[in-house]
Amino acid sequence: MGAERNTAAVPTAAPRSGARVVLGLLWSDKFAFVAALFLIFVVSCAVFGPLLLGGTATSMNLRLRNFPPFTLDHGWLFVLGADSLGRSMLARLMVASQNTIAVAAAAVAFAMTVGGVLGLMAGFLGGWFGNIVMRLADIIMSFPSLLIAVVVLYMFEPRVANLVLVLGITRMPIYMRTSRAEVLEIRERPFVAAARVMGASSFRVVFRHVAPTVLPTLTTIAALDFAFVMLAESALSFLGIGIQPPEITWGLMVAQGRNYLNVAWWLAFFPGLAIMLTTLSLNLLSSWLRIAADPTQRWRLEIPRGRDG
């Protein structure tokens, strides 16, 4: 299996290391390259931002209330202006990135794990269990996820854990369906039959032999889903039932800035821009990944681009 993948990754005779090949493929799609750089920047903001700027983001300076952006009069921290309490927008954006990313990552991880396992079992066991799982997926999918989230978040208090749970559950169906469909095909393959003949239990067959084969597909979906979950979390925080103040996320910052639209447009504009650029980068990168991972399409990235077409 490993050897097979290696030969596929090296297209020409010249032996090159895996990382070099990936970087080369990335460099040939400039949009994807910029997107990757931006995502690295956002992730480092999320990891280090609160450590470095946690104090700055909450320190108020009432003389700088609604200070306009794009001037360096008060240092680079105020280059994106200040909010209605004179707190640095740049510092707040960086601190908010941690909550935004963490909630989305946790929700996607939850959806992928639970949805994936349910789908695996549905595909492998079939019968009434498989039917129930599929109907469950239908129910979740057929109804606007935002409204389910609103009902549930009113029932429990809008704490971070509940938010993650709700976002995760509404995104589960896609993993349930995909892993079930993959299992239905994989379980007919010889290596599964071989494992069975050698006396492996159903549990072992599913989690030891089938699951690793399904995992790459699920991971690809998860990358795209991350963008979707981020948008959903922002919408919930915007409606006031996501993350609660004093915690901040980008969506909540848009909601808070909405009240100052007439006097300070930057309060709502920059956090929304951050959401959009992050989801756009994720989408650009995953569409690059689809081409790079597809042997029949990869040549598009490998040929030197002389002229378009």
Partner 1 sequence: MGTYLARRAVHSFVSLAGLLILVFFLARLTGDPTNLYLPLDATLEARQEFAERHGFNDPVIVQFGRFLSGLAEFDLGTSIRKHRPAADVVLEAIPVTLGLAAVTMIVALLGAIVVGSLAAYRPGRIFDRLASVISLASASAPDFWVAITAILLFAVTLGWLPTSGTGGFAIEYWIMPIGVLLIRPFGLMVQVVRGSMLTALSSAYVKTARAKGVTERAVIFVHALRNGMLPVITVASDQAAGIANGAVIVETIFGWPGVGKLMIDSILYRDFAVIQASILITAAVIFTINIVVDIAYAVLDPRIRHH
Binding stretches for partner 1 (CB under 8 A): 31, 135-136, 138-139, 141-147, 150-152, 154-155, 227, 231, 234-235, 238-239, 251, 254, 258, 261-262, 265, 268-269, 271-273, 275-276, 279-280, 282-284, 287, 300, 308-309
Return the number of the residue (7 or 262) whose C-beta is nearest partner 1.
262
Task: Look up residue 104 and give its two tokens.
Answer: 């989305």
Q: Is 20:65 a contact under the CB 8 Å cutoff?
A: no
As a whole number of angstroms, the distance between CA 188 and CA 236 comes to 43
Return the number of the residue (179 or 281) whose C-beta is nearest partner 1.
281
End-to-end CA distance of the chain: 35
DSSP letter assigned to residue 12: S
Q: Is 260:267 a contact under the CB 8 Å cutoff?
A: yes
| Residue 144: other Cβ atoms inside 10 A | 9
Return the number of the residue (2 or 306) whose C-beta is nearest partner 1.
306
Return the number of the residue (119 or 251) whose C-beta is nearest partner 1.
251
Shortest CB 52 distance to partner 1, Å: 26
Return the number of the residue (99 or 192) whose C-beta is nearest partner 1.
99
Helix pair angle (266-292, 18-27), 10° resolution: 120
Return the number of the residue (88 or 145) whose C-beta is nearest partner 1.
145
Q: Is 251:101 a contact under the CB 8 Å cutoff?
A: no
- 3-class SS letters over 28-63: CCHHHHHHHHHHHHHHHHHHHHHHHHHHHHHCCCHH
Return the number of the residue (99 or 279) whose C-beta is nearest partner 1.
279
Shortest CB 170 distance to partner 1, Å: 10
Return the number of the residue (33 or 265) whose C-beta is nearest partner 1.
265
Instruction: Select from 54, 145, 47 the least CA-distant residue to 100.
Output: 47
Shortest CB 152 distance to partner 1, Å: 6
Shortest CB 277 distance to partner 1, Å: 8
Measure CA 255 to chain center: 22
The CA-CA-CA angle for residues 104, 50, 106, to 5°, reads 15
Bridge partners, 82 (sequence order): 88
Instruction: Select from 268, 247, 244 the least CA-distant residue to 81.
Output: 268
Bridge partners, 88 (sequence order): 82
Q: Is 229:142 a contact under the CB 8 Å cutoff?
A: no
Shortest CB 155 distance to partner 1, Å: 5
Shortest CB 195 distance to partner 1, Å: 34
